[in-house]
Amino acid sequence: MDRKDLVNDAERRVWDAFGRGARVDLGPGDPAEDGFDPQTWGPDRTVRAQVIAKLLLGVRQEEPGSIGKLVLAGARISGELLLNGGTVQHELRLDRCWLDGEPDIGNAVTRGFTLADCRLPGLMAYGWQPSGTVRFAGSRFDGGISLYGARIGGVLSMPGVKLFNQGGTSLNAVNLTVEHDVFCRQGFTAIGTVSLYGAKIGGVLDLDGAALDGAGEKALMAASMTVGQGMTCADGFTAKGEVNIYGAKIGGGLVLTGATLANPGGDALCAVNVVVDGDMFCTKGFTVTGTVDLHGARINSTLELTSATLTSPQGRALHAPSLIVEQGMYCDFGFTAEGLITLKDARLSSISFERAELRLPAGADGTSHTTLNCESLTTGRMTLPAALPGVADLRQATVGTLAVPPEVLGATMRLTGLTYTDLDPDPDPPVKRRLAWLRRDPGGYHPQPYEQLAAYYRANGNDREARLVLLAKRRAQRAHASRRPDLIAPARRLVSVLRPIPGLIIDALAGYGYLPGRAFAWLLAAITAGAWALSAAKPGTPTADNGTNAVLLALDSIIPTSPFGLRDEAHLTGVLYVVAMALQGFGFALSIAVLPALTRALARTDK
């Protein structure tokens, strides 16, 4: 091709300007706007795509002392721009241009490449290798962009870009490599899936303010992606459809502040096995309809969901089993969730639900519906919300400090296997309130929660409270043991009446040994009653006072070993003999009742 092959002044102007890198502007107009009619641009504003391709591929030499480049504005480019497999030594910049055909730069090696405020049916750029910055700012693509396997040596900048490929992939950047940053912000809009599967981005992935609509499919597919310096989807970022970053590795932080994600009935954010080297911020109006899935994710700093709103009424609001957070997780101060929160097997530096609101889905049974599952959770500190509808599962959890607001002690929690070293708030609420907390466990009686609470009180020097807890444990055990659902109804009723009797007696006498003062009071009462009843025997020994001798005789009758021998010397008969035998039986019962207390005192334990 030579200059004589050009068909109009527009092409000749482009030809002449190329050698010195000058800009050619064929007139005003914004083809990226809705309703733009390319027919309004006649031949005087039309440049054939083959002319541009020939110039870029070296048909015309640059002028001495100049850097050749093609800079064109306000043109209609007819035909298809074909650079597939070519090597381009010159920069291309198209501003406010309408392209009739889809450019094909697959496997091409190019310099910097700019399509600013242009409109085109799509872009085929698989395997493309631009050495400089690629900029598509403000352009509209009425089909998809394929950057499959491309390697961009600079920045990929797409602020304000609009992609339309409903039902398909609007941006196919599978296995894309970008040496520096990727900017898809400031009005970036995609109808159809944006796929960054397996992409490697050396700098920042910036999606602030972007609007993604998967049109029934995934909005963002970025599984196995690697980002060197952080990912941000903040400042009004919206996504209709799943945002999937499964297995992604993100250096720096992950910011979703103020983002809105919607995928009702499915995962709105799938971050399974994701690794974030910095903080993960989902705050300041972060709103999700669907599930936030952090199964197996690792956050090496903090995870903040303060003031976030998660809604998944029929499913999981936050699904984060086996989550690891190194420096604290905050679901507090305005955090709201409707749907199940799962932190099963998670390992967190701390977790706070202070001033959070957990909502029970409409129609759910508050006595059985689980709203918070923290089974086998490990954390240094856990703060529960002041209101906890439904059931909270804390079974087998290991907590350093467990903050249970007094208001939530009436909530229903599964507590078997839960261990902690400290309970907040200070000072402790009355022990009876914490005992009521244990009794509400829908799993029924288990000894471990009582033993754990007693251990907490002992560790803080509150032996009286510890004994009351262990007494409550024995009473709960007695009530539980009397239930025999395996027996037929008559036998079950008989067992429920007879089996608790020994325990009731021991409880009445000495509170299973945990209330020694009660046993002492019973002993004094028995001595007093026995002395009064046996005073008629008029024992003459061992003192000269009959009243004193009657007291000693009563005491000798109560003590099972009869250490003074007065009972036999008194030769009691009739009613007095019956009284002595009754006192002896009472003494045996009282000894059995106080024996556990003596055993614990000798063994120096309260278990």
Residue 603: pLDDT band (50, 70, 90) is low
Mean pLDDT of 426-452: 92
Q: Which of 119-123, 342-346, 458-462 has the lowest mean pLDDT?
A: 458-462
Torsion of CA 519, 522, 526, 528, to 10 degrees: 120
Model pLDDT, residue 544: 54
Residue 371: pLDDT band (50, 70, 90) is very high
Report the alpha-carbon distance of residue 422 to residue 399 in Å, rounded.
8
Per-residue pLDDT at 509 exceeds 70? no
Model pLDDT, residue 189: 97
Report the alpha-carbon distance of residue 326 to residue 329 in Å, rounded.
9
| Helical axes 516-534 vs 546-558, angle rounded to 10° | 130
Model pLDDT, residue 478: 76
Residue 361: pLDDT band (50, 70, 90) is confident
| 8 A C-beta contact, residue 441 and residue 414 | yes
> What is the distance in angstroms between the CA of the first residue and the CA of the last residue of the chain?
98
Tens of pLDDT, residue by residue over 545-584, are: 555 577 777 777 778 777 767 676 666 767 877 887 887 7
Model pLDDT, residue 328: 95
Model pLDDT, residue 521: 79
Average of per-residue pLDDT values in the chain: 89
Single out the residue of 238, 243, 234 nearest to residue 193, CA to CA: 243
Q: Identify the bridge partners of residue 76 per DSSP, sorted by sequence position.
A: 46, 98
Q: Which residue has the higher pLDDT, 270 or 596?
A: 270
Model pLDDT, residue 49: 97
- Its pTM stands at 0.85
Residue 339: pLDDT band (50, 70, 90) is very high
SS3 at position 220: strand
- DSSP string covering 565-580: -HHHHTT--HHHHHHH
Report the alpha-carbon distance of residue 147 to residue 134 in Å, rounded.
11
Tens of pLDDT, residue by residue over 225-243, are: 999 999 999 999 999 999 9
Model pLDDT, residue 547: 56
Report the alpha-carbon distance of residue 390 to residue 368 in Å, rounded.
6
> Which sequence spans correspond to the domains of the chain?
1-110, 499-603
Residues 6 or more apart whose CB falls under 8 angstroms from that of 464 comprise none
Q: Which helix (H) or strand (E) holds 479?
A: helix 463-481
Q: Identify the bridge partners of residue 324 per DSSP, sorted by sequence position.
A: 298, 347
Residues 6 or more apart whose CB falls under 8 angstroms from that of 574 comprise none
Tokens of 235: 């400042």
Single out the residue of 248, 286, 247 nearest to residue 268, CA to CA: 286
Single out the residue of 212, 331, 223 nearest to residue 260, CA to CA: 212
Mean pLDDT of 276-288: 97
Model pLDDT, residue 482: 61
Per-residue pLDDT at 74 exceeds 90? yes
Report the alpha-carbon distance of residue 468 to residue 249 in Å, rounded.
52
Mean pLDDT of 78-83: 97
Tens of pLDDT, residue by residue over 244-278, are: 999 999 999 999 999 999 999 999 999 999 999 99
Q: Which of 138-147, 186-195, 313-322, 544-553 has the lowest mean pLDDT?
A: 544-553
Model pLDDT, residue 276: 98
Residue 164: pLDDT band (50, 70, 90) is very high
Maximum mean pLDDT: which of 166-170, 300-304, 564-568 = 300-304
Mean pLDDT of 40-65: 93
| 8 A C-beta contact, residue 63 and residue 83 | no
Question: What is the percent of the chain with per-residue pLDDT over 90, rounded to a whole number?
Answer: 70
Per-residue pLDDT at 451 exceeds 90? yes
Mean pLDDT of 173-185: 97
Burial group, residue 425, by CB count within 10 angstroms (0-12, 13-18, 19+)? exposed
Model pLDDT, residue 592: 72
Model pLDDT, residue 597: 59
Pairing of strands 162-172, 145-146: parallel
| 8 A C-beta contact, residue 497 and residue 479 | no
3-class SS letters over 225-242: CEECCCEECCCCCEEECC
CA distances from 321 to 293, 294, 316, 318, 465 (A): 9, 7, 12, 9, 35
Quick one: CA dihedral 208, 213, 219, 220, positive or negative?
Answer: negative
Model pLDDT, residue 493: 63
Cis peptide before 427 (omega within 30 of 0): yes
Q: Which residue has the higher pLDDT, 536 or 151?
A: 151
- DSSP string covering 49-116: HHHHHHHHTTSSPPPTTS--EEEEES-EEES--B-TT-B--SEEEEES-EESS--B-TT-EES-EEEE
Question: What is the percent of the chain with per-residue pLDDT over 70, rounded to a whole number?
Answer: 88
Report the alpha-carbon distance of residue 213 to residue 238 in Å, rounded.
8
